[in-house]
Amino acid sequence: MKAFTKTKYGGPEVLQLEEVEKPSLKDEHLLVKVVANSANPADWHILRGEPLLARFAFGLFKPKDKIPGFDFAGIVEEAGNNVKHFKVGDRVFGESSKGGAFARYICVGADVCGLMPEGAGFPQMASVPVAGLTALQALITHGKLNEGESVLINGASGGVGHFAVQIAKAYGAKVTAVCSGKNVDFVKSLGAHQVIAYDKENIHRHEGKYNLIVDAHGNLSHSDFKRMGGRGVVVGFTTMRHMISLSITGRMGKFPLTQFTAQANTKDLEKLALLIQTGKIRVHLEKTYSYKQIPEAISYIEAMRTRGKVAMVWESID
Ligand SMILES: NC(=O)c1ccc[n+]([C@@H]2O[C@H](COP(=O)([O-])OP(=O)(O)OC[C@H]3O[C@@H](n4cnc5c(N)ncnc54)[C@H](OP(=O)(O)O)[C@@H]3O)[C@@H](O)[C@H]2O)c1
């Protein structure tokens, strides 16, 4: 089968499209014919082996896992003996935390897959897992968002942020979103009640008060969280220094601040599928590439200015 592989750390140029062996099925797994992928910041972090500390997990001198990629949507080709929820021919989407998604086939645990909603497209659903699960778990699992509460979402126009705005609205929250001036109309169209353009107003001096703050960009300080919020969830970090500083101040202070890594599971994926099916959230695809251009897609998202998501397609199927 065709797959992108990497044998050393580096930029998207280290990726090679080559023929590799098709993965074989295990009892708890699905063999999925991949129809589309999406790109996430984690793809280029792991490709580059950055931050350096991450190499303890991903391979000290060279990458442990050969095939990159987390997000996929496709069709079940084979289902393992212990799989109950899925059958051959099902349209599924999911996230492989070990990579392996930038390939024609992926063998992946059934517990990190969900059924696609009727009528949904593969590029759209491939764009949901990492970013959608992160938004859902930031707001609901960790943020404990209640109906009628106010939430500030920083970094509201990106992959995670554009889902977070819509999910918060769907759960009955009053949403204030922070993005650049060029994305104000886009974020309003997602349902934000109020939008702050960070290039017009200094968010670090903003005096608004919110029940919950979700930082999907990663530049809010501990004092920003305390000044504006009742509780906070940190999704991303702009620098290692910022990550260390928030971890220390967060542990020492009394402000309820949570940092987390999103976990894929069928229940949450299918919650997102239902929100999509009922029209409560939509996926905004800024760009769609062919699978052959996966390195270009990763290169594009490295600027961290994506509006919504970027998808890559192996095959055009409705
Ligand atoms: N904890 C987890 O499990 C988890 C999971 C997924 C992602 N993440 C992390 O979460 C972060 C966001 O991921 P993503 O996929 O949403 O990335 P993304 O699609 O690249 O979005 C990043 C967004 O940040 C916005 N931004 C840039 N400068 C900003 C500023 N000064 N203030 C506020 N917003 C600003 C950009 O919006 P404008 O163009 O409008 O400026 C862009 O839309 C990344 O750091 C990623 O590594 C964490």
pLDDT digits (tens, 9 = 90+) for 139-159: 999 999 999 999 999 999 999
243 against 230, higher pLDDT: 230
pLDDT of residue 295 exceeding 70? yes
Decide if pLDDT at 246 tops 90: no
Q: Work out the average pLDDT over 59-81.
A: 95
The percentage of the chain sitting over the pLDDT mark of 70, rounded to a whole number, equals 100
Q: Where are the domains of the chain?
A: 2-128+283-313, 131-259
Give yes or no for residue 41 CB within 6 A of ligand 1: yes
Sorting pLDDT into bands at 50, 70 and 90, what band is 72? very high
**Rounded to the nearest whole angstrom, what is the distance from the C-alpha of residue 40 to the centroid of ligand 1?**
10
Q: What CATH homologous superfamily does 131-259 map to?
A: NAD(P)-binding Rossmann-like Domain (3.40.50.720)
Kindly report the average pLDDT of the chain as a whole number.
96
Atom of ligand 1 nearest to the CA of 154: 33
Whether residue 318 is predicted with pLDDT greater than 80 in this model: the reply is no
For atom 39 of ligand 1, which residue has the closest CA? 305
The ligand 1 atom nearest the CA atom of 162: 16
Q: Look at residue 39 in the predicted model and tell me its pLDDT.
A: 98
Q: Tell me the mean pLDDT in the region 124-129.
A: 98
Comparing 303 with 316, the larger pLDDT belongs to 303
63 CB less than 6 Å from ligand 1? no
The string of pLDDT tens digits covering residues 175-212 is 999 999 999 999 999 999 999 999 999 999 999 999 99
The whole-number pLDDT of residue 247 equals 84
What is the pLDDT, as a whole number, of residue 117?
97
pLDDT at 242 (0 to 100): 87
pLDDT band at 13; cut points 50, 70, 90: very high
| Class level of CATH domain 2-128+283-313 | alpha beta
C-alpha to C-alpha distance for 308 and 73, rounded to whole angstroms: 17
Is the pLDDT at 215 greater than 70? The verdict is yes
Does 38 contact ligand 1 (Cβ within 6 A)? no
**pLDDT of 2 higher than 70:** yes
Tell me the C-alpha distance between 233 and 301, whole Å.
23
Closest ligand 1 atom number to CA of residue 187: 40
Q: Is the pLDDT of residue 95 over 80?
A: yes
